[in-house]
Amino acid sequence: MKNKFNFTPDWISGFTQTDGSFTVSFEKRKNGLLYRPSPVFSLSQINLEFEMFLSLQKYLRVGKVYKNRNGVIYVVKSIEDLISVVIPLFDNSPLRDGKLESYLNFRKVVLMMKNKKHLSLEGLLEIIDIAYFMNKDTTLRSKSSKSDLKKDLELKYGILPSLYSNSTNLIQVTPSKPKLVKLTKEFIRGVIDGDGSFNVAFRTDSRNIGLNFTIVHELSSISFLYELISFFKCGNVYKLPSNAARFQVQSKDELIKYVIPVFKDVKLNTRKQKNLEVFTKVCNILNTSWYKDDESLLKIVELAWDMNVGNKPRKLSKKEYISKFNL
């Protein structure tokens, strides 16, 4: 049977840009050095995408998939698998901005561990300085927790090497930085599968219908969102109250002229494909017959009312909305 999912390196890179993570934890040990670095590459989504994640794991042939009540996560922990599969993938299909910087630091740690540098106190301290704050927009770590970790090492080994003992800042990695390439449609397809959204809004005080295509991302990668303006030839970028930003297109005319055509021959891997199909139909209805006649408005309601399963519920039920406007 033909695989219903379409994975490519650029799609994986785009999906990772929004829903991926490169982390290095530090596990306390009884044998050897007191702490051992543990690099992990992970992807996460709602648990409705469990089947897709199993298919992705089969495609990459490394890592494991876990599912719980809240979501599904794909993880790769093996140094060998990270070196043979994950690093070549992102070296050839580069990430952008803050996510790229996190990856470069992650890659440096993995390669150091391949060369056994984590087995010396000096190497461990260097890895701590490289990796401890590498996800600056999402990390829950603090200077205090890093200081506590180093105090543990001082209690066991005495005064730490002076080159690292007072370092609290992230070591920036600049060598071998992948060349920033032009955004591809496959990369964008992955980004949207990760954190894109197609929304149809119904006003409770009028018959007006709002359209909204958005991509939300970490603030450290806000320049990537500005790249999307060039890619789609429309839209705006807004900083959010949280440590994030949003690319957004709301104009019906811009959606029809610039955004919808991008997806003409594109099929998303997640359940957002269904939302895209509904969104496209609604845009076409609004473009041809508008929604001031009851038949068109009712058609839009039937199409789009339940399109974003799991999102914040609407203020009115579908039945209440239809009754309110005598459809």
- Each residue's pLDDT tens digit, 180-208: 678 999 999 999 999 999 999 988 888 88
CATH number at residue 43: 3.10.28.10
* DSSP character at residue 116: T
Q: Are residue 101 and residue 241 in the same domain, yes or no?
A: no
Its pTM stands at 0.89
Q: Of the residues 165, 194, 229, which one is the last residue of a structural domain?
A: 165
Q: Of the residues 165, 199, 230, which one is the last residue of a structural domain?
A: 165
**Residue range 54-83, pLDDT digits in tens:** 999 999 999 999 998 889 999 999 999 999
Residue 211: pLDDT above 50? Answer: yes
Which residues, including other chains, have CB under 8 Å from residue 172's CB and lie 6 or more apart?
101
Question: How far is 41 from 76, CA to CA, in rounded Å?
Answer: 5
Q: Are residue 160 and residue 294 in the same domain, yes or no?
A: no
Q: Are residue 48 and residue 150 in the same domain, yes or no?
A: yes
**Residue range 262-306, pLDDT digits in tens:** 998 899 999 999 999 999 999 999 988 766 688 888 999 999 998
Domain assignment present for 128: yes
Q: What percent of the chain has pLDDT over 90?
A: 63
DSSP 285-305: HHHHT-S-SHHHHHHHHHHHT
Q: For the chain, give the mean pLDDT.
A: 89
Question: How far is 317 from 97, CA to CA, in rounded Å?
Answer: 41
Q: Are residue 204 and residue 159 in the same domain, yes or no?
A: no
Domain assignment present for 239: yes
CA 256 to chain centre: 26
Q: Are residue 26 and residue 157 in the same domain, yes or no?
A: yes
Domain assignment present for 310: yes
Q: Are residue 37 and residue 140 in the same domain, yes or no?
A: yes
* Number of separate domains in the chain: 2
The candidate with the shortest Cα–Cα distance to 102, out of 183, 21, 177, 180, is 21
Domain assignment present for 4: no
Q: Are residue 27 and residue 82 in the same domain, yes or no?
A: yes
Q: Are residue 288 and residue 155 in the same domain, yes or no?
A: no
- Quick one: pLDDT band at residue 167, thresholds 50, 70, 90? very low
The candidate with the shortest Cα–Cα distance to 213, out of 246, 239, 257, is 246
Domain assignment present for 176: no
Q: Are residue 152 and residue 26 in the same domain, yes or no?
A: yes
Domain assignment present for 179: no
Write out the residue range of the structural domain in which residue 250 sits: 185-324
